[in-house]
Structure 1
Amino acid sequence: MVSRSSSRFNRKRSARRASDKPYTLKEFTDYLAAHQIDAPLKVIVAILIGYLIGVPYFDRFIFITYQNPQTGLYGKGVGDIFFLFFYINVFTMLRAASMEYVLTPIAVAHVKSKRKRTRFAEQMWTVIYYSATFCVGTYLAYHSPYWFNTAEFWKGYPHVELTKLFKYYYLVQFSYWLQQIFVLQIEAPRKDYRELVLHHINTLLLISLSYSFNYTRIGNAVFVCMDLPDVLLALAKSFNYLDFRFICDSTFVAMLISWCYTRVYLYGCIIWSTATEPDLYVNFKLDPRNGSWFPYFAKYIILALEIGLFFLILFWTVMMFKVLAKVLLGSAAADERSEDEAEDEGLESEQGVVGTTSAIAHNSNMTPTKRK
């Protein structure tokens, strides 16, 4: 997977050297895509060596900083950027290595198509990551005052200092979503590519603003609402690639239930809380020295970003229910792949795919398609 693309890039690089032309941004992206293991690994090793030999500030790449010795809690600062940079590299390397050396080999015994093996590996990496973050995020929310109590999002604002686990959790999520921008560029684009780009931009704005301006309680709640359906959807797709039809469809039904409850209902409650409850509990003011970044208009900025994300969620919800209705009515799901992709895979039928998740995979604009 990575080695094959690496050899192709090396041939292009040799031709580039011969012509002495400057590298383009696309060629740089191609280089990173072809070296997803070794390039970030070099960065990681260099940082670890620097830390071990005692280079000043290199600990900031690996560990969270800004601990308050009086409270034992952690604040925020510009130095958190070092942490984000390091873990963007960690996620890039881990994703590529786990896909190439663990997840793709697992698929070999069950999946004949090379393209489907790659898709299986991508989805299983998603399952692994979001399973971990959902468990940690739920643990943090459950042991917080805002567990099913949205008023606590706003009471006592600003919430400047964080526990050790909470700060690790939030910054790891932040670095993962930053790394996802790179993943979007190297994966075969999906039919809903524009919506995915909007989703990622919106999500990164929410994460960065909530962290920087001390809205992390509501940020944790949003993370938890989003992570569970991602686990189940990726798991359903993985079963689909393995042709485990009954398990695939059962998992999809569970995903759809969790999607409606967490992403539509619970996230809708969070939006309602943002619209109504700050007026009851927040002292609206801009006082950065004391961690307060909440002039009254800030409420509408947060609300606009949340609603923007909610519209995308509703868009995908409608698409899923349309496909579900077609399948329940007995219509086969048509294969909408382009002919060149079918030729690449070589083993895939052009007939419709029966099964709920298969229908989602081919009709709900959630399946990768080859870039024209």
Structure 2
Amino acid sequence: MAFRRRTKSYPLFSQEFVIHNHADIVFCLVLCVLIGLMFEVTAKTAFLFILPQYNISVPTADSETVHYHYGPKDLVTILFYVCITIILHAVVQEYILDVKHSKFNESGHLLVFHLSAVAWCFYVIVTEGYLTNPRSLWEDYPHVYLSFQVKFFYLGQLAYWLHSLPELYFQKVRKEEIPRQLQYICLYLLHITGAYLLNLSRLGLALLLLQYSTEALFHMARLFHFADENNERLFNAWAAVFGVTRLFILTLAVLTIGFGLARVENQVFDPEKGNFNTLPCRLGMLLLVCVAQAWLMWRFIHSQLRHWREYWKEQGAKRRVSAVPRLPAKLLKREPGYHENGVVKAENGTSSRTKKLKSP
């Protein structure tokens, strides 16, 4: 049990036992796959879990280049890397974000993921030459054959977002938070899977780079806000970047799908060859991207308006409190004489009260 500093033992195979030891259980499964590499009988099956499948050698002028395409065996590879991601998630949770605050832990994990994904995605785009040649986003479509790093990137992204589903159970996410998290998990899975299966991997890389950069800034601002509630500078920067990112994503999608693919000669629907470049398919792709961006923008505007209403409400309450005039303190009318042990004494030492005469 390497990933938990347990202070309490739970019954074997109980719900609490599985939740507190899920990383160790998954680690044992991964270890079994790695041990399978050591034996010739099981090595072929073990490689099916670890390495991307469906490789093909393409001859070039100098030598041969290995490319990949997708297929059903990718599900096995994705399952293995889902287990790897669960282990990494537990390591970050245990040794970096050991805080009993659900939103802080959520933003901490997502910040680590988005920063690493931005660096990985940018490296792939630069090395593949998509940044210097934007026309490559639609030229030579369908992009059936992928390089190793492009395919591995997509497998890793699918594995991460799929691992987020069981993590809702392992992290004991509150019921009111589950719908919100399911929304963005399913939205990422839909877009990444669509770009992978429809052979729009190059466009998907560009859009993910823009989206992940914005999300990294948001979670960074959120963490700074948890540390200092008066720190709103990063949120203001994120608000400006968010709107610009939506505009860039829509522009890039329309340019690639609406104009670039429309000019490609091969416009025949042929799923066996990976060609989905027809007018109905292009309209469906654009509609999906536009609806998603419009929904994100609507939620952003709604949250900003609610934030501004709360801010001006607080400011109005502060102004009303400061505008209320302070009444001067009432002066206490002291009786003549002085106080001694809580009793008023006359100046000559006698009591200031009139004495009652005793009846004879």
Q: Which residue of 2 aligns with 1:137?
A: 121
Q: Which amino acid aligns with 1:60?
A: L
Unpaired runs of at least 5, structure 2: 59-64, 317-360
Contact 2:261 2:277 (C-alpha < 8 Å) held by counterparts = no
Q: Over alpha carbons, which structure has the higher Rg?
A: 2
Specify the SS of the correspondent of 1:68: strand
Q: Which residue of 1 aligns with 2:195?
A: 210
The alignment covers a number of residue pairs equal to 305
1:227 maps to 2:212: yes
Match of 2:81 among 78, 87, 97: 87
Specify the SS of the correspondent of 1:317: helix
CA distance in 1, matches of 2:208, 2:54: 24
1:48 Cα offset (Å): 1.0
Contact 1:177 1:200 (C-alpha < 8 Å) held by counterparts = yes
Q: Which residue of 2 aligns with 1:41?
A: 27
Question: After alignment, is 284-293 or 185-194 more displaced?
Answer: 185-194
Cα distance, 1:152–1:82 mapped onto 2, change above 3 Å: same
Contact 1:195 1:312 (C-alpha < 8 Å) held by counterparts = no
Cα distance, 1:12–1:159 mapped onto 2, change above 3 Å: closer
Listed as ranges, the matches of 1:231-242 within 5 Å are: 231-242=216-227
Q: Which residue of 1 aligns with 2:334?
A: none
1:53 Cα offset (Å): 2.6
Question: After alignment, is 133-142 or 198-207 more displaced?
Answer: 198-207
Choose between structure 1 and 2: higher helix proportion. 1
1:83 Cα offset (Å): 1.4
Q: Which amino acid aligns with 2:184?
A: H
Specify the SS of the correspondent of 2:45: coil
1:39 Cα offset (Å): 2.2
Q: Which residue of 2 aligns with 1:338?
A: none
CA distance in 2, matches of 1:103, 1:290: 46
Task: Answer 1 or 2: higher relative contact order, Cα 8 Å, separation at least 6.
Answer: 1
Report Cα offsets for 1:280-312 as digits up to 9, x if no partner.
Answer: 225222223433233432223322321232133
Report Cα offsets for 1:23-55 as digits up to 9, x if no partner.
Answer: xxxx6xx77544331221121111111123341
1:300 maps to 2:283: yes
1:99 Cα offset (Å): 0.6
1:252 maps to 2:238: no
1:187 Cα offset (Å): 4.6
Listed as ranges, the matches of 1:321-332 within 5 Å are: 321-326=304-309, 329=312, 331=314
Cα distance, 1:319–1:187 mapped onto 2, change above 3 Å: farther
Q: Which residue of 1 aligns with 2:254?
A: 272
Cα distance, 1:168–1:5 mapped onto 2, change above 3 Å: farther
Report Cα offsets for 1:69-121 as digits up to 9, x if no partner.
Answer: 332222222222121001111111211222123321xx5xxxxxx3x2x5433
Match of 1:314 among 293, 297, 300: 297
CA distance in 2, matches of 1:174, 1:91: 11
Unpaired runs of at least 5, structure 1: 14-26, 108-113, 334-372
1:61 maps to 2:49: yes
Cα distance, 1:167–1:136 mapped onto 2, change above 3 Å: same
Report Cα offsets for 1:252-277 as digits up to 9, x if no partner.
Answer: 22322322222x11112134233444
Specify the SS of the correspondent of 1:37: helix
1:74 maps to 2:68: yes
Extract structure 1 runs of 4+ deviating beyond 6 A: 1-6
Contact 1:67 1:74 (C-alpha < 8 Å) held by counterparts = yes
Contact 2:114 2:215 (C-alpha < 8 Å) held by counterparts = yes
Q: Which residue of 1 aligns with 2:145?
A: 161
Listed as ranges, the matches of 1:319-358 within 5 Å are: 319-326=302-309, 329=312, 331=314
Specify the SS of the correspondent of 2:67: coil
Contact 1:88 1:176 (C-alpha < 8 Å) held by counterparts = yes
CA distance in 2, matches of 1:12, 1:66: 38
CA distance in 2, matches of 1:221, 1:303: 15
1:126 maps to 2:114: no
Q: Which residue of 2 aligns with 1:111?
A: none
Q: Which amino acid aligns with 1:72?
A: V
CA distance in 2, matches of 1:123, 1:5: 26
Specify the SS of the correspondent of 1:218: helix
Q: Which amino acid aligns with 2:152?
A: Y
CA distance in 2, matches of 1:305, 1:48: 40
TM-score, normalised to structure 2, is 0.73
Report Cα offsets for 1:164-183 as digits up to 9, x if no partner.
Answer: 22121111011111112223
Match of 2:38 among 46, 52, 55: 52
Contact 1:326 1:332 (C-alpha < 8 Å) held by counterparts = no
Contact 1:65 1:80 (C-alpha < 8 Å) held by counterparts = yes
Listed as ranges, the matches of 1:351-366 within 5 Å are: none
Cα distance, 1:296–1:74 mapped onto 2, change above 3 Å: same
CA distance in 1, matches of 2:192, 2:294: 18
Contact 1:157 1:282 (C-alpha < 8 Å) held by counterparts = no
Cα distance, 1:2–1:255 mapped onto 2, change above 3 Å: farther
Cα distance, 1:332–1:312 mapped onto 2, change above 3 Å: farther
1:322 Cα offset (Å): 1.7
Q: Which residue of 2 aligns with 1:175?
A: 159
Contact 1:87 1:172 (C-alpha < 8 Å) held by counterparts = yes
The alignment-based identity, stated in percent, is: 20
Contact 1:239 1:245 (C-alpha < 8 Å) held by counterparts = no
Specify the SS of the correspondent of 1:103: coil
